[in-house]
Structures are given as C-alpha cells and as structure tokens.
C-alpha cells in the first residue's frame, strides 16, 4: 500500500493558490460556453434631430463604424448588433452642446459587435469613435473628430477642421483638405496621400509617418518616437525646414529658404527622416 505524500509547506501553498485559480478557469470556461450558445442579434435604425450648434457624436464600445454626410438637422445610426446573453445598452444623451449616441457591451465574454453606418449633418460638428473596431469616414466637412482605441481609421475627402486619432492601429488618409488637421497615433502607421491641408500636425509613438502633399502647405509639424518619417512636398516652392533626429539618417532634397512662409518642422527619436519633392 502506498502511503500518502506529506503536506509540505510548498504543497500547502500550491493548494491554496491553485484551487481558486482552477475554479476561476472552470467558471470562465463555462460562462464563455453559455455566452456563445446564447447569441442574439437585432437591427438598429435610429434618427435624432440635432441643432447646428450641437455636436453629432457616436461612441461605440466594440464594432466597426462608417460615417458619411446625411440630411441637415439629423444624426442617423443604422446597423446590426450581435451579442451574447445580454443585449447591449444603447442610449442617447442630449446636452446643449451635443447629441450623443452611446453603445455599451454588458458581458465580459462572448460576442458583442455593434456595426453601424452613421450619417451626420454636412458642415456641422461631428465626433465618431469606437473602442475596438475600425472607423471609416468619407466626405465630411465642418469640425470632424474621428478615433479608434483598437482598430484602423480610414478617412477620405475630409475638409473643414479635422482631429483624427488612434491608440492601436493604422491611420490612412486620402484627399485631406482640412484647413487644420491634427493626426495622432500611439501604435501604428500614419499614411496620407493627396494632402492639400495648409496646416498639418502629425504625431506618432511607434510607427511610420508618410504624407504626400498635392498643395504647398503653410505649416507642417511631424514628430515620431520610433519610426521613419517621409514627406513629399510639391515643387515650385522653397521651404523653411527644421529637422531633429536622435537616431537615424536625415535626407532633405527640397529647395530651402530661411525666410520662407512654408514652415516644415520634423522631429524623430529613432528612425530616418526623408523630405523630398
């Protein structure tokens, strides 16, 4: 007959720590199985009046959002919601300065996907963001704010004033003509083609920045902590160029003038800087 193993201090510690962890893992697995078994979905089609003095805002927990101009005086949200067990919470909030649509997922596991097509009044103030998903925008004007915490942001034909941000994903821009554009990314590439904005600020923590201009800008400020920076500027103008590069090569092949009104400032901590025509 085999005698039981003695309960040493190490075995007691393993028992005390391991038993709760095992129970948590079993419970989480069971909850996940139930959540996936209890999938549901429903359609959303909402339209709410918005005044010209109010921001039309949409904030989504998780899901892809596309946004384009729509009828004057109205913000619309249309799409499909897929969820596990508990229906996500959808709500509107009205303040003197904004009309805001919120969506919130209510379970920690399983499916929660809220994919919406949004329309906002042309030329007004709009603010569209998602916590986990892609944002796609086209043809917006006025004061435009777009953002994603975990996903890509793709925007085309944006005019007015634009603020575009991403925490973890790429930002891809085309035909950007905003009078002032602020573009920020924490972890991902920033790529812009057909840029004609006169005032552009682009900042990245980890990723490459590439901007191709089709019109001579008045002011461009670009900074990166880890990644290459490439600017392609139109010919026919001289530029007042200032570069700072801590670790990497710098190549400037544009025509330069210390008195030019076209100011280009580029700072990179680790990466190459290329400014060409």
- What is the rounded distance in angstroms from the CA atom of residue 223 to the CA atom of residue 200? 11
pLDDT band of 12, cuts 50, 70, 90: very low
254 C-beta neighbours (distance < 10 Å), count:
18
pLDDT band of 6, cuts 50, 70, 90: low
The pTM score is 0.84
Contact 90, 106 (CB under 8 A): no
Per-residue pLDDT, 19: 46
Sign of the Cα torsion 24, 30, 34, 37 reads positive
- What is the rounded distance in angstroms from the CA atom of residue 144 to the CA atom of residue 158? 8
pLDDT at 84 exceeding the cut of 60? yes
Per-residue pLDDT, 33: 43
First to last CA, the chain: 86
- What is the rounded distance in angstroms from the CA atom of residue 17 to the CA atom of residue 253? 63
Q: What is the pLDDT of residues 194-239, one digit of tens each?
A: 999 999 999 999 999 999 999 999 999 999 999 999 999 999 999 9
Per-residue pLDDT, 167: 96
DSSP secondary-structure letter at 52?
A: T
DSSP string, 227-265: S-EEEE--SS--BEEEEEESSS-EEE-S-B-TT-S-EEE
Task: Region of 70 please: left (phi>0), alpha (psi -120 to 50) or beta.
Answer: beta
Mean pLDDT across the chain:
88
Task: Characterize the bridge pairing of strands 89-94 and 98-104.
Answer: antiparallel
Q: What is the pLDDT of residues 99-150, one digit of tens each?
A: 999 988 776 656 777 889 999 999 999 999 999 999 999 999 999 999 999 9
pLDDT at 98 exceeding the cut of 60? yes
Per-residue pLDDT, 37: 44
Tell the residue number behind the tokens 């917006």, with chain if given: 140
State the number of CA atoms in the 13 A half-sphere of 226 facing the CB. 5
Q: Give the closest residue to 122 by CA, choosing from 49, 162, 68.
A: 68
DSSP secondary-structure letter at 13?
A: H
- What is the rounded distance in angstroms from the CA atom of residue 34 to the CA atom of residue 109? 10
Residue 260 sits at the vertex; the CA angle it makes with 179 and 227, to the nearest 5 degrees, is 65
């Amino acid at each position: 007959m085999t005698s039981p193993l003695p309960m040493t201090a190490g075995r007691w510690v393993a028992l005390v720590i391991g038993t709760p962890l095992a129970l948590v893992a079993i419970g989480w697995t069971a909850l996940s199985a139930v959540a996936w078994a209890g999938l549901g979905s429903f359609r959303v089609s909402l339209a709410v009046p918005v005044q010209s003095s109010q921001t039309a805002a949409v904030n989504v927990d998780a899901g892809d959002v596309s946004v384009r101009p729509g009828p004057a005086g109205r913000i619309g949200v249309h799409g499909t919601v897929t969820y596990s067990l508990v229906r996500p919470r959808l709500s509107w909030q009205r303040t003197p300065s904004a009309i805001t649509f919120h969506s919130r997922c209510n379970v920690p596991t399983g499916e929660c996907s809220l994919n919406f097509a949004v329309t906002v009044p042309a030329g007004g103030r709009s603010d569209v963001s998602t916590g986990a998903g892609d944002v796609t925008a086209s043809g917006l004007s006025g004061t435009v704010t777009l953002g994603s915490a975990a996903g890509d942001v793709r925007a085309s034909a944006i005019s007015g004033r634009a603020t575009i941000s991403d925490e973890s994903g790429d930002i891809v821009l085309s035909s950007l003509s905003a009078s002032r554009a602020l573009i920020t990314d924490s972890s991902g590439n920033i790529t812009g083609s057909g840029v004609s904005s006169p005032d552009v600020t682009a900042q990245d923590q980890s990723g490459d920045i590439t901007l191709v201009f089709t019109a001579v800008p008045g002011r461009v400020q670009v900074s990166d902590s880890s990644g290459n920076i490439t600017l392609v500027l139109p010919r026919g103008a001289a530029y007042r160029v200032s570069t700072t590069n801590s670790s990497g090569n710098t190549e400037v092949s544009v025509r330069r003038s210390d008195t030019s009104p076209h100011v280009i400032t580029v700072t990179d901590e680790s990466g190459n800087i290329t400014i060409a025509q």
